Amino acid sequence: MRPRDYLLDRLPLILGFAVALLFLLLVVHLAVARLRAVDAGYLLLLGAVSGAVCLLVDHQRQRPFRKAVARALGADREADAKNGFALLQLPPAKSREQRALAELLTHSQRSALEALQRHRRSAEEHRAFVDLWVHHMKTPLAVLEVTVQQQDGQGQDADSEWRSVREEVDELGRGLELMLAASRLERFELDLRLVTVDLVGVVRASVNELRRAWIRSGVFPSVDAPSGPVEVETDPKWLQVVLRQLLTNAMKYSEAGQKVTVGIRPLGGGGATVSVSDDGIGIPPEDVPRVFDRFFTGANGRRTKASTGMGLFLAAEVCRRLGHELSVESRVGQGSTFTVELRPEGIHRLL
């Protein structure tokens, strides 16, 4: 605490002391003996010096405790910035007031730490349940996929019926992958592997992975990329999660016969950008600032009734943790462009 703050905190005491001293001098002057101006000034000076000495001694006595509190608050802010928890370590109290404050802080810390531990245990149990449930669901889903494949070529009517089943199976698969990715996001650092990859190859693999969905929707994808490889540093598995979401999003809001273009542009210093552009319905201007918010569906999501509000949030969160930048530009009726910027200097912000 600065000396100025210390004096302001004790301003009522200082004013009270000054008033009491003046009142004492007045009583002495009227009831005991008439005081000369020099004597009154001397007594006032003596009282001011005595009061200043007392304040100085009290300030120095409490200074270590206050400095420790300031350091603890600084450590607590750093822990908040890192999404952590810092235990406040205070020196022995020098007064009853400090002792009461230390006891209050200790009790608050203990309660907060216990609540945090309960929350972490609950969150870990929830993630374990989600992971287990998703893995259990993959088994019957795989059986359905094999069954659908075995029905190919059984006649036009049968193909039409099983085509609908295949669409639902694919949608279930994408939903399970989205749920699993969202669950693993909480332990991102345990499932991270940064390598140098060919961005063109990763993009083409993501586009080809959705080939059945492209055919069903009647939307035509194209990749606009340099003829040679474009090497960037990233985690290819997590980057494919982002690209898959951006591609399915563009497909969802495009009509049959329209195009989705994936553009790759190398940047200087080992970086690059990937843009996913569509000619679909576009995003209303009032929804653009919130498209990456959790559970935000917007006007388009309410219109199609197929949006969960999690896909773009997940893509933005993965990009943030990878040190990449995800942005969007859109105009209603003209389509949208989502751009991922991969920069080497962004990797330092990981975790």
The CATH number assigned to the domain holding 310 equals 3.30.565.10
How many Å apart are CA 121 and CA 101, to the nearest integer? Answer: 30
Residue 226 and residue 343 share a domain: yes
How many percent of the chain have pLDDT more than 90? Answer: 23
Mean pLDDT of 105-134: 82
Domain boundary among 33, 67, 94: 94
- In 3D, which of 186, 178, 80 has the Cα closest to residue 124? 186
Residue length of the chain: 351
In the structure, what pLDDT confidence band is assigned to residue 92 with cuts at 50, 70 and 90?
A: confident
Is 149 within the bounds of a domain?
no
Residue 335 and residue 201 share a domain: yes
What is the reported pLDDT for 351? 46
Is 201 within the bounds of a domain?
yes
* Helical axes 96-150 vs 156-184, angle rounded to 10°: 160
Residue 205 and residue 343 share a domain: yes
| pTM, two decimal places | 0.63
Is 209 within the bounds of a domain?
yes
Residue 340 and residue 218 share a domain: yes
In the structure, what pLDDT confidence band is assigned to residue 5 with cuts at 50, 70 and 90?
A: confident
pLDDT, one tens digit per residue, over 170-222 is 778 777 777 778 777 777 777 788 889 999 999 999 999 888 889 888 999 99
Report whether pLDDT(157) > 60: no
What is the reported pLDDT for 140? 78
- More confident site: 346 or 323: 323
Is 304 within the bounds of a domain?
yes
Is 117 within the bounds of a domain?
no
If one counts the domains in the chain, the total is 2
pLDDT, one tens digit per residue, over 222-245 is 999 998 899 999 999 999 999 999
Is 128 within the bounds of a domain?
no
**Residue 117 near residue 87, CB atoms below 8 Å:** no
- In 3D, which of 45, 11, 40 has the Cα closest to residue 28? 40
Domain boundary among 47, 69, 94: 94
Mean pLDDT of 59-86: 67
What range defines the domain where residue 27 resides? 3-94
Is 85 within the bounds of a domain?
yes
Question: Which two three-digit tokens encode residue 200?
Answer: 């063109």
How many CA within 13 A on the CB side of residue 78? Answer: 9
Residue 210 and residue 85 share a domain: no
- In 3D, which of 233, 235, 254, 241 has the Cα closest to residue 209? 241
Helices (H) and strands (E) counted in the chain, each on its own, are 10, 7
| Stretch among 10-14, 26-30, 149-153, 165-169 having the lowest mean pLDDT | 149-153
| Stretch among 85-89, 116-120, 121-125, 169-173 having the lowest mean pLDDT | 85-89
What is the reported pLDDT for 96? 78
Greatest mean pLDDT range, 70-84, 140-154, 278-292? 278-292
pLDDT, one tens digit per residue, over 26-44 is 888 777 777 788 878 888 8
Is 295 within the bounds of a domain?
yes
What is the reported pLDDT for 239? 93
Residue 198 and residue 89 share a domain: no
Q: What CA–CA distances, in Å, run from 117 to 36, 88, 120, 121, 125?
A: 71, 17, 5, 6, 12
Report whether pLDDT(257) > 70: yes
Domain boundary among 78, 94, 110: 94
pLDDT, one tens digit per residue, over 286-308 is 999 999 998 888 777 777 656 77
Residue 207 and residue 82 share a domain: no
Distance of CA 188 to the CA centre of its chain: 13
